[in-house]
Chains A and B, each alone.
Chain A
């Protein structure tokens, strides 16, 4: 089959690779009908995530048609079902899964892959498609076919009549934006500030309103992304034009936002002094992450407020304002998304017309043009808001 493979920093190619097959009883094989490039794929593309091997098949946002089912998953799926698949892999049996903490699944990272993240983070990470070998080294869905382990747990059946574009983002970015907003525990009258108007930030804006936010203030520097944020109902700040903390304080009567969402993560842009120093440190390998947004969110947040972090971090960072965190009594909530927990309820929101996820898609390309899709998503973040690839 044809698949989009990682070969190094800034180097992805469409290669011919062996077809996947059923290995374990609870596996299924999908024929992929749509798959998207995610902002976190850019972290791989930019070489920020360790544990990538040349030839790894990328892609963790995908959906398709079931073409084969193992005997252990046949009670849940049958050949011909159309499904959308959560990006993280969860067994459904372990204590975290039973507690709906699917992104903390104990069992989905293969034993021989789990050592590295256990050393890095204290406990092994959960498995995910098309990502680093720290998260299992599973072949991803930017391919014609993909093997889905624990297929009786993850895949959500797509109702007849719904287009791929309407449901594809249930695999990651819509639940990720939603969980980011849910983590803010939004109360009546709340103002939510969101850094980053990429796909996750935009879904976080829409989700914050679904969950009852009074106001949402969105921060970015790409005019097109700010325009989309405005269309979603946010008041927008371009951080190249305004001092963000001053503006937020003024806009909230000096109280500060009730909650702040860092939808940027470890590759923050911008020329604030701390970020320039962070950039130098990451280049010199003295630090791994550039946490400018995280710092600013902690400083901007009102006393007793919540900082919610859907943005991806991987390693270590300096100069976190821990005094502000403690003295203001902030709550920080974060984590990879418990995708499985949200898919069914977000599908309902889409079905009932409360949200239309297709607003995000700027480009639709055949899989063979995937490398161009990565180049555009990386290089033209203003115009290129989301790339959907079609493998067949």
Chain B
């Protein structure tokens, strides 16, 4: 699966950053990783995220998360074109204070899996959070394009959700300039 030649890159970098390997970095067609540093303790960030009921507070497109039995949860998310997408997510790995991994059960609208990792940043910098998602774009390439235009492409969503997570954890609120407090739209 990976190139066999010896690599001299020795730093701890996920395969998504390696040239020509992003497509193979996860089990699905689209793979992306995003890192953000948050000035709060690792345990606090882990605990907030692990209680999935908190996630809609900063995940703008998530309409509801219903906790089911044995680490499963039902997600309803605003998708492209005003259509909701749904899936049941199951926690596949849970290392308190460090890492949570999940996978969508078969039969959902978006086949995907991912993980979030929390690592201590250098002194006074807080916690480094990395999120990885691997997914099959709904309705293939066309769906991906539509989602992108609608700004509901999972990669774009993940980027914005991580920014909002940081805002909420550091400032206690999610930053906004939305109307009527921003400029009125004609």
Residues in chain A within 8 A of chain B (CB atoms): 5, 17-21, 23-26, 53-57, 72, 91-95, 98, 106-115, 124, 127, 136-139, 147, 149-150
Contact partners of B180 in chain A: CB under 8 A? 17-21
Contact partners of A108 in chain B: CB under 8 A? 175
21 examples of A-B residue contacts, CB within 8 angstroms:
A17-B180, A17-B183, A18-B180, A19-B180, A23-B176, A24-B174, A53-B185, A54-B186, A55-B183, A55-B184, A55-B185, A93-B170, A94-B171, A106-B166, A107-B170, A110-B177, A111-B159, A111-B163, A112-B60, A138-B181, A149-B175
Closest residue of chain B to A23 (Cβ to Cβ) is B181
Are B164 and A111 in touch, CB under 8 angstroms? yes
Q: Is B178 among interface residues, defined by CB-CB distance under 8 A?
A: yes
User: In whole Å, how far is B157's beta carbon from the nearest beta carbon of chain A?
Assistant: 10
Are A138 and B182 in touch, CB under 8 angstroms? yes
| A109 to B163 alpha-carbon distance, docked (Å) | 9
Main SS of chain A's interface residues? loop
Specify which of A18, A20, A21, A23 lies most central, judged by the most chain B CB atoms within 10 Å of its CB: A23
| A137 to B166 alpha-carbon distance, docked (Å) | 20
The A/B interface has a contact count, at CB < 8 Å, of 105
Are B171 and A93 in touch, CB under 8 angstroms? yes
User: In whole Å, how far is A45's beta carbon from the nearest beta carbon of chain B?
Assistant: 16
User: In whole Å, how far is A15's beta carbon from the nearest beta carbon of chain B?
Assistant: 8
Are A137 and B175 in touch, CB under 8 angstroms? no
Are B170 and A94 in touch, CB under 8 angstroms? yes
Contact partners of B160 in chain A: CB under 8 A? 111-112, 114-115
| A251 to B151 alpha-carbon distance, docked (Å) | 58
| A23 to B60 alpha-carbon distance, docked (Å) | 16
| A113 to B156 alpha-carbon distance, docked (Å) | 12
Return the CB mask of B148-172 against A: 1 if under 8 Å, else 0.
0001000010011101101100111
Contact partners of B164 in chain A: CB under 8 A? 111
Return the CB mask of B33-57 against A: 1 if under 8 Å, else 0.
0000101000000000000000000
Given contacts A21-B180, A23-B181, contact A107 B186 (CB under 8 A): no
User: In whole Å, how far is A96's beta carbon from the nearest beta carbon of chain B?
Assistant: 10
Given contacts A23-B176, A111-B160, A111-B164, contact A139 B170 (CB under 8 A): no
A-B contacts besides A94-B170, A137-B183, 20 pairs, CB < 8 Å = A18-B180, A24-B175, A25-B172, A55-B184, A55-B185, A72-B173, A91-B167, A94-B171, A95-B37, A95-B124, A107-B167, A111-B164, A111-B167, A114-B160, A115-B160, A137-B177, A137-B182, A138-B182, A139-B181, A139-B182
